[in-house]
Structures are given as structure tokens and as C-alpha cells.
Amino acid sequence: MNLLNSWFGNGEGNSRIFSFLTLGLVVFVAVVAVGVFFIAVQGAEEIMVPDVRGKELTDALLELQVKELYPRIQLRYSQSAEDKGMILEQDPLAGSIVKAGRRIRLVVSEGILLNTLEDYVGRDVEEVRMELRALFAAAAQPLLSLKEPFLYEYSPEPAGIILQQAPLPGTGISEPMELQLVVSRGREEILITVPSLVGLSIADALKRISGAGINFTFDIWQAGGGDRPGTVADQDPAGQALVTVNTPVLIRVVPPEPAKGLVFGLFRYTLERNPYPLAVRLDAILPSGETTSLIAANYPGGEFTVPYELPPGSVLVLFMLDREIYREEIPVPSPDILYLDQL
């Protein structure tokens, strides 16, 4: 009994020994934790990123593997068939210092999007133009572009339809190429009947013009005896006259009576002239956010004029082939001005 007491001591001694052991264990764990922390901070071995641009994908992967770097691959079309399977870009760049195990983004070429020339005959030239523009929007040099100005011929085909192309369909594409097109002007000297517009309200006249296929120009007419405000007072050529398709028809309108909260004016915008009419639309976005269409017609180009009566703050938006090309806001007139009629 005395021997045991001398070995372990009394209860107070046991508590002291236990405390020392506990403290020692805590210190040991702390030392291990600090060591692990510094090892983690030190991290993996630092490595210089190799330059793999312009190399075949398999060669690039082997080179990265030797450096203990791992690829993240993205595919992208390029401008040359010879680029297929080659590394176009890398991130991080060559020479960057990174830790082993880092992911390296590689952009790999899928080759060119077009291998052979398509058959564009019979398609609308503006649709083809927009298709190629969208296809090569991000390219510094488009692989395929249209040679302009186009060659035009009268034909039974509707205006704007492609009649011939050179090079021919099926031609291989291996480098940037220009496509020469022959485009239809439509039938030669087609005659159309001018609609009768005199006496119609401005809104009804715009609706009648939308489906008439005429080349129109609006002007403001000073009201005279018998002229009703807000109507067409005169036109030239007269209604029911036979004219060629691009003959301009001058339409003179009388401003409507002043209306509270509305502004009358004449929208003007000069469009590039085309050999044949293109689809044009003028919309108005009201201050409430509602959108209304003022006119939609085929127009050959030149000064495009449309009368309007809208709340100030409305926005007029002009479209060609459903693409916005211009917009302007109707200003708020000064208190002494009822109309912005550009008389």
C-alpha cells in the first residue's frame, strides 16, 4: 500500500500529473497543426507554364502532363482548315508561374465552319448578307464576304433574289474568299396603280400606302378653303394613274387640329438608295411603354418621310429588314408651340 502511494502519490499529485499530460497533448496537437498549415501554405511545387499555342492538341497535353498541369479544353471554329486540332489560345499565358496541379484553359480549333461554298441562288441577297455577317461577327477577317456593288439584272424573279454566283456552289474554302453575286431587279418597267389618297385621314393614308408598293414622299400642306385638317389634301401623280414601280408619289397632308397632349410632326430620315425596294417599318414607343406601328412598306431609299401625331416623349424607331437603324425622341414643345410640323 505504501509502495503504491509512493508511485502514484496522493490524489492532488494525480491531478497535477493529468494536467501536465493534457497540456503536453495540447501543445503537441498545436505543433502538428502549425506544421500542416505551413506545408499547406507552401503548397505544391511552382512551375512555369509552357507555350503550347500553335501545337497539336496531343503534343500540348503531353507537355502539360510532364509539368503536372491539367487542361480545360474549349472548342472554337477558326479561319483556316489547317488549324483543326491546333491550340489557338491558352490561359494562363506562357511563362506564367503557377503551382503544380493548376488547370490550364486551352482553346482548340475545330477547323473552319464552312468547308465548301453553299448554293445561294434563289435566296434573298439581304438574308445572305445578314447570315454571313452574323457567322463571322467575331472574325478579324471574314472567311467569306460579298463583293459589292452587286451586279443587277431585270428578271421574272422578285427583286433582291440571287440569280447567279461565282465561285460556284461546292467550291472548297481554305482561305478568305469574295463571293460575286448577280441579283434580280425584278421585272423591267413594271407598272403599278397609284392608290387614291386625297380626302383620306393621315392614318388611313398610311395604311393604304403600306400595301400599295409605291415610292412615296410626304409634305405638309397649308390648309386652304375646303381642306379638312388631318387629311390628304393633294397627291402627285393622281390616284389610279399607272406608273413604274419606283416613281415617287408626292403626298401633301393638312395638319390636324391641335390636340392637348399631342405633337404633330414629319419624321425624316435619308436611307441609302437600293436597286429595288426593301422592307422598312416605322414604330412609335409611347411614354406609357406601348408600341404602335405607323407604317410598314417597301421603300427603295432616299428621304423617308412619315407624318405623326404623338405624345411628346414618344420615341420613333426606324427598321429596315427588321433591324433597327435609327431612333429619335419627340421633344416637348415650348408653351407657345402647338406643333412641330417643320412647315
Mean pLDDT of 26-40: 66
Same domain, yes or no: 181 and 209: no
One domain for residues 237 and 277: yes
Distance between CA atoms of residues 217 and 224, nearest Å: 21
Residue 16 confidence (pLDDT): 67
45: confidence class by pLDDT, cuts 50, 70, 90: confident
Closest CA to 194 of 260, 248, 152, 240: 240
In terms of Cβ atoms closer than 10 Å to its own Cβ (0-12, 13-18, 19+), residue 302 is middle
Band (72; pLDDT cuts 50, 70, 90): very high
**Domain range holding 306?**
191-329
Query: Confidence band (pLDDT; 50, 70, 90) for 114?
Result: low
Overall pTM > 0.75:
no
Mean pLDDT of 44-48: 81
Q: Has residue 339 been placed in a domain?
A: no
Are 58 and 174 within one domain? no
Last residue of a domain, one of 138, 157, 186: 186
d(CA 35, CA 40): 9
**Count of alpha carbons within 13 Å of 93, Cβ hemisphere only?**
0
Whether 182 and 195 map to the same domain: the answer is no
* Any domain includes 31: no
4 CB-contact burial (10 Å; exposed 0-12 / middle 13-18 / buried 19+): exposed
* Residue 4: per-residue pLDDT: 44
The CATH number covering residue 136 comes to 3.30.10
Classify residue 135: in a domain, yes or no.
yes
Q: How many independent structural domains does the chain possess?
A: 3
- What's the average model confidence in pLDDT over 145-158? 88
Confidence band (pLDDT; 50, 70, 90) for 336?
very low
pLDDT at position 161, please?
Answer: 94
